[in-house]
Structure formats: structure tokens, C-alpha cells
Amino acid sequence: MRIDILTIFPEIIEGALKASLLGKAIEEGVMEVSVTDIREFATDRHRTVDDAPYGGGAGMVMKCGPLFAAIESLKPRNSLERVVLLSPQGRRLDQTVVRELASVPDFVLICGRYEGVDDRVRTGLCTDEISVGDYVLSGGELPALVIVEAVSRMLPGVIGNWESVTTDSFYGGVFGPPQFTRPPEFRGVSAPEVLLSGNHAAIRRWRRKEALRATRERRPELLSACTEEDRTLLAELDREEAEREREIES
């Protein structure tokens, strides 16, 4: 897979691409991530990539020319079939979007800045817009890194143990289960006995049940596509909660 990132601050991104499993995956050729400095495609001696907005108003707007030239420079290396503008107006990033991006051979991420990009970039170049949440950042560089990190985890060879991916929050449509490690007891709080039992079927069932519990408490809308086993476990949770309420009342 190849990912091209367009930005006016390549230094924000380049350091992160060298770290941890992501850096190892890039070094070993599992994925290729290239950072393009949009300023290199400015035509004036000051490398200007922004200008005042037509119609007046605060802030500056990223210009068409450098962005179009930067995108077009990628043609020999990127199909340009998926060009993503990182924008607060885009569709919300979730695991479904991550899977979608991980299924294509290449895509481009455009990091906006200032008051945004000239809308002719959005309509003339971009095939998609993605937002990482309903809040404001100074630019698209951190969202780009979030997307690269999330997509990288879906690629075979990036995570050594694929089970680590399949138990991630949202991978199976729900949060991940609680995790424990040594020591078995810490300051009077013990790890669940089932996790120490060696009974893999019981452990798997406990983890799914606890994942469903956390999801129902915090993001119940994620439970719209439950399996038959999930419904059985949710019914057990209902019974347990009803029993606790009876104990409290008594």
C-alpha cells in the first residue's frame, strides 16, 4: 500500500513515521508513506501557498495552484483514484472507513490549513472528505497521522500478532475487553480468575461479554449488529443487573 500526504509542515509528520511499529512497517516495505511539501509547488520566490479570501473575512485560504501541481506530481506513483481532503465537514472517521481505506492500493491525504482550501480543490481534485471528530485543529497533519496509524494496523505484516488487531476496540463492532497483566493482585484488587484459568473458551466468552458490557454502557448505538451469541451475553448482563438491583433493594 502507498499513502501520499500533502502538507506545508512535513516535519510534523516525518518524525512520527519513523517510530514504533509504523516506522518498522515502512522500513520493511510493508507500506509506503510519502510526504510532499506543498510549498515546493508555489511559483513565487516566497513560496506562497495561501491568500486572502474573496469576499473578505478573517484568515487566509490555501490556493489552488500549488495544491493542483502537488497532486499532479504524484501521477507516476499514485493512481489518484482516492484523494482525501481532511476537513471538519467530512464524514466521521470510524473503523468502517479505516477498513475501506485499507482495502485500496493507494490514496492521498491533503492536510488543510488556515481557513481551509479553495473549494475548487475540493470539487476538482478530491474524491472524499474525512473528519476525525467534531472539534477544531490548526491543520490536517495530526488527522493524517491518525488515519495512517489506523490503516496500518489493518495491513498484514504490520502487527506481529494478528489477534492483537482482532481484539481492538471497534474491530468487531464493539469496544475491546478490559486487559490485565502481572501481578495477579495489586493493592487489594485481583485480576479476574477466568483470565488465569487457562480455559480459552471461557476466556474468549468473558472478554466478549465484558466488551459488550462496556459498549452498552458508553456507546449503545454500536450494538445494532449483534450476533446470536452477543444477544445471549447481553441477556445475561440484563439478568445480572436485575439481580444486583434486587440485592441493593433488599
CATH number at residue 30: 3.40.1280.10
Residue of 98, 64, 76, 62 whose CA lies nearest to 4: 76
What cell was used for 1? 500500500
What cell was used for 16? 512520527
Higher pLDDT, 170 or 17: 17
User: What is the per-residue pLDDT for 158?
Assistant: 80
Is 44 a member of any domain? yes
In the annotation, is 216 catalytic? no
Catalytic option among 37, 39, 88, 178: 88
Q: With 80 as the cut, is the pLDDT of residue 76 above it?
A: yes
Mean pLDDT of 155-160: 76
CB atoms < 10 A from the CB of 242, how many?
10
Mean pLDDT of 43-72: 95
Q: With 70 as the cut, is the pLDDT of residue 160 above it?
A: no
Q: Residue 114 sits in which domain range?
A: 2-152
Catalytic option among 2, 39, 99, 153: 153
- 241 CB-near residues (< 8 Å, 6+ apart): none
User: What is the per-residue pLDDT for 171?
Assistant: 54
User: What is the per-residue pLDDT for 189?
Assistant: 92
Q: With 80 as the cut, is the pLDDT of residue 167 above it?
A: no
What cell was used for 183? 501481578
In the annotation, is 168 catalytic? yes
User: Are residues 196 and 140 both part of a single domain?
Assistant: no
User: What is the per-residue pLDDT for 162?
Assistant: 42
In the annotation, is 88 catalytic? yes
In the annotation, is 105 catalytic? no
* Block residue for cell numbers 444486583: 244
User: Are residues 147 and 191 both part of a single domain?
Assistant: no
CA distance 163 to 47: 47
- 52 CB-near residues (< 8 Å, 6+ apart): 60, 61
User: Are residues 88 and 196 both part of a single domain?
Assistant: no
Q: With 80 as the cut, is the pLDDT of residue 172 above it?
A: no
Give residue 140's Cα distance to chain centre. Answer: 13
Percent pLDDT > 90 in the chain is: 83
Q: With 80 as the cut, is the pLDDT of residue 48 above it?
A: yes
Catalytic option among 37, 115, 129, 236: 115
User: Are residues 143 and 211 both part of a single domain?
Assistant: no
CA distance 34 to 174: 32
The structure's pTM equals 0.83
